[in-house]
Every structure is written in structure tokens, then in C-alpha cells.
Amino acid sequence: MISWLFLAVSLWGAAFTWNALFPITRGMRISAVSFAAGWLTSELALHHVAWQAAATLVFGLAGAFGAWPGQIGLGITVLSWLGLGMAQIRAARAGRVADDALREALGADYRERVLPERREELGDRIDWRRIVQPLPLRTADVERVKDIRYARERGIDLALDVYHGRNPGSNRPVLLQIHGGGWVMGSKNEQALPLMFQLAAHGWVCVTVNYRLSPHATFPDHLVDVKKALVWIKENIAAYGGDPNFIVVTGGSAGGHLAAMVALTPNDSAFQPGFGDKDTSVQGCVPFYGVYDFLDRSHAWPHDGLQGVLEKQVLKGSRDEIPELWEQASPLSHVHAEAPPFFVIHGSGDSLVPVGEARVFVKALREKSREPVAYAEIPGAQHAFEIFHSVRTVRVNQAVERFLAVLHARYALAQRGEAKPAPLLH
């Protein structure tokens, strides 16, 4: 009996490993299951090896290997470990892929353009204590100011958090983080924490915001709220040590969509009801695994799951009923020559948002924008891969910080009258 149980456990573990290596993207429900099963496995491959090894030892001591089902299970388990090793090796490639993307967009010497006083912060070292304990626990050198109200909409208080170093100084670059969750769930409390802690510890001021969620909210309510948060930042962030004139926006999934919309629609009165005179421009955008075309003009989606969510909960109408809103809500429709610099990041193993979304969006940006457009397609990365510390998260976040440091150096030099334009990508 113990041998058969071990065989079943081995098959179960091997299925998770297989799914991490070869995620399923067909069909809304099965792709969601594939994401749920593969997300932690692909990011915490070594942790899975550790617990499987412990379980295997327990089964071995219980005599599971004395019969042929247990022996087959042991073979399957060893193959599963090899697969997890492959997943870890693939994750380690993220740093090279991201660095190549920056070299292509910014030039091979891009690291030399970082301000000298910031170069020491941009190392390639991995803190393995973070990898072993992946949850983004609070760090002593970063302070979080919680639940600052920036607006009130339809009886709902909208709040934001500010992260900064214990000695914030003044005129520090600012990052605006927008959470994901399919426009219907999520909050400012749990996403992009590794990136914000990293940047805040290195002198940035990071702001993460809540916004109204569907089905209570109907687009563009989500975007309007984020733009109001941006206005609040420009008017108040100096009190927390931030520079209101240098703000970069980022976000993942639905947050990636909203980040791209913020970057591409500065001062657009259609998304700024009652505050159309306020400046909502940003100096850069780093969207993670975002949705960029609600109309799916490139046929990147293998199923109609997104269409159903948008139609029933977010836009509250079909493409035939309200085609203008579907068009208006798509970042792809707003690409233009004056777009700020972009660093688009998407995983090749994303089960929830197809990587084709990013490829088409980047192509359009590169054809029209006068600014650099970097694109890193991270090998094997699932949706939401960077929510907690992993080798892949660390490597990608290091690249993001280097990209932002180059943008900030260009801004700082311009302030001194010494600006040198970054090479363009065409």
C-alpha cells in the first residue's frame, strides 16, 4: 500500500513539474488551472526539490521502495527533480535576457550612463537568504507610510502607500506601482513588493495605489483613479523626499494595462474628468505581463476568456455595442511618437496573458515612439512571477533598476544642462 501511495505522490509531483516546463494556454479555465499549478513550481523549483526529497526520504524509511510501484515512483521522482533543475536553469537565464534587452534598446554602454553615485547600487549579486525565504518581508532600511487617502469616489476612500528609505533626503526619483487582479480584485498591499523594497532601499520613493474595482467600477473609472493618484503624487510627494518631476509608472497584468494607459495618455481630458488641467505625464513605463489590446487585433488570444471578463464586468458592454470604448481602453490604440521610454516585460510561459500581446505592443511602440523601447521576454516565466523573491525576480528587478537609473541619469543631466540623448531603437 505504501508503495502505491508513493507512486501516486510521485506522479502528482511530476505533473506539477511538467506543467511548470510546458504550461497550458488553451481555454480560459484550463489556462487558469495551469497558472495556479505552475506559478509556485516554476519560481520555487529548488524549494520543491527540497520538500520532495524530504517526502521521498520518509517514504523510503516506511519501506515504499520494497515493491515495484515504489521503485517506479522513485524513478519518476528523480526525473521530476531533473525537470525542476531545468526550470531553475531557465530561471537563471532571466538576467542575461533582460540585460540583452537593455543593451539593444539603450546601447552596449548603457551602464556607464548611470550617475556615478548610483552605480554601486546596481550590482548583480544575489542575496540567497532572500531566495531561501522568498516572502518579501519588511526590511529595516525601508519605511512604509500606509493608507494615505488621495481621493474619495462614490463613497469609497481611495488610498495609497509610500515606501522610502529611513533617510529619504529630497528630490528622489519616484515609482508609481499599480496592482493587477483582472480589474476586479487585488490591492496595493501584495504586489511588486520585492521591486519596491529594492528601489526604496536605493534611494527611490515608491508609491502603490488602490483604485476602484469592477464590477462596481466601469472603465475608465480604474484609470481615472490612478491618474488622480498621480496628481496627488505630483502635489505631495516632495514631503516624502520625492521629486514630482521624475515619476515612472509600473504595474503587472491589469496593472500593466493601466500603467501603459497612464504613460500613453498624459493630460487626456477623456480620462481626467474634472481635472483636465492637471499634468499627468510620466518619464517612463515598465509594464509587466500586461494586456495591451482589448480588441485582440493580432489574434494573440487562444480563447475568449478576456472578452467575457471585459464585456460583463469591466466595460459593461460588447464590442458591437460600445466599440469606441473597447478601442479607447486599449493601450495599443494610444501609441504615439511622444510616448515615454518603455521597458516591456513578459514571460514566455504566461498562461493567463499570451506573450503575443507584448510582442505586438512592442512592435507598435518601436515603429512610432521616438524614445527607447526595451523588451525582455523572460524564458519560462509565468504570470505574476515577480510577486515574491526568486532568482528570476531578482535578475529582472536588477535590470529594471538599471533601466530606471539610465532614465533618471538622463533627466538629472538635463536638469544641469548636460543631457545626452539615449540611442533610439528602430
Q: Does a structural domain hold residue 276?
A: yes
User: What pLDDT is stored for residue 376 in this prediction?
Assistant: 98
Query: Is residue 304 among the annotated active site residues?
Result: no
What are the tens digits of pLDDT across the range 192-235?
999 999 999 999 999 999 999 999 999 999 999 999 999 999 99
Confidence of residue 60 (pLDDT cuts 50, 70, 90): confident
Q: Does a structural domain hold residue 421?
A: no
Among 350, 351, 369, 408, the active-site one is: 350
Q: Does a structural domain hold residue 77?
A: yes
User: What pLDDT is stored for residue 420 in this prediction?
Assistant: 53
One-letter identity of residue 371: E
Q: Which parts of 300-384 fold into alpha helices (H)?
A: 305-309, 323-328, 356-368
What are the tens digits of pLDDT across the range 15-35?
999 999 999 888 778 888 888
Q: Does a structural domain hold residue 425?
A: no
Q: Sign of dihedral through CA atoms 210, 215, 220, 224?
A: negative
Whether 118 and 67 map to the same domain: the answer is no
Could you tell me which of 288, 338, 312, 278 has the C-alpha nearest to residue 98?
288
Q: Does a structural domain hold residue 241?
A: yes
The residue from 92, 120, 154 where one domain ends is 92
Could you tell me which of 256, 349, 300, 291 has the C-alpha nearest to residue 38?
349
Could you tell me which of 151, 180, 323, 170 has the C-alpha nearest to residue 258?
180
Q: Does a structural domain hold residue 176?
A: yes
Query: Is residue 253 among the annotated active site residues?
Result: yes
What are the tens digits of pLDDT across the range 288-341?
999 999 999 999 888 888 899 999 999 999 999 999 999 999 999 999 999 999
In whole angstroms, give the CA distance from residue 310 to residue 247: 29
| CATH assignment of the domain containing 392 | 3.40.50.1820
**For residue 168, pLDDT beyond 50:** yes
Whether 123 and 216 map to the same domain: the answer is yes
Query: Is residue 383 among the annotated active site residues?
Result: yes
Whether 82 and 160 map to the same domain: the answer is no
Whether 196 and 235 map to the same domain: the answer is yes
Whether 57 and 130 map to the same domain: the answer is no
Q: Does a structural domain hold residue 426?
A: no
Percent of the chain with pLDDT over 70: 97
Total number of domains constituting the chain: 2
DSSP state of 163: E
Whether 298 and 375 map to the same domain: the answer is yes
User: What pLDDT is stored for residue 29 in this prediction?
Assistant: 82
* Boundaries of domain holding 219: 106-415
Q: What is the mean pLDDT of the chain?
A: 92
Whether 170 and 50 map to the same domain: the answer is no
Whether 62 and 185 map to the same domain: the answer is no
What's the mean pLDDT in 122-143?
Answer: 81
The residue from 92, 123, 146 where one domain ends is 92
**For residue 421, pLDDT beyond 70:** no
The residue from 92, 118, 145 where one domain ends is 92
Whether 65 and 113 map to the same domain: the answer is no
Write out the DSSP string of 31-53. Answer: HHHHHHHHHHHHHSHHHHHHHHH
Whether 77 and 117 map to the same domain: the answer is no
Whether 111 and 64 map to the same domain: the answer is no
Whether 74 and 124 map to the same domain: the answer is no
In whole angstroms, give the CA distance from residue 358 to residue 333: 14
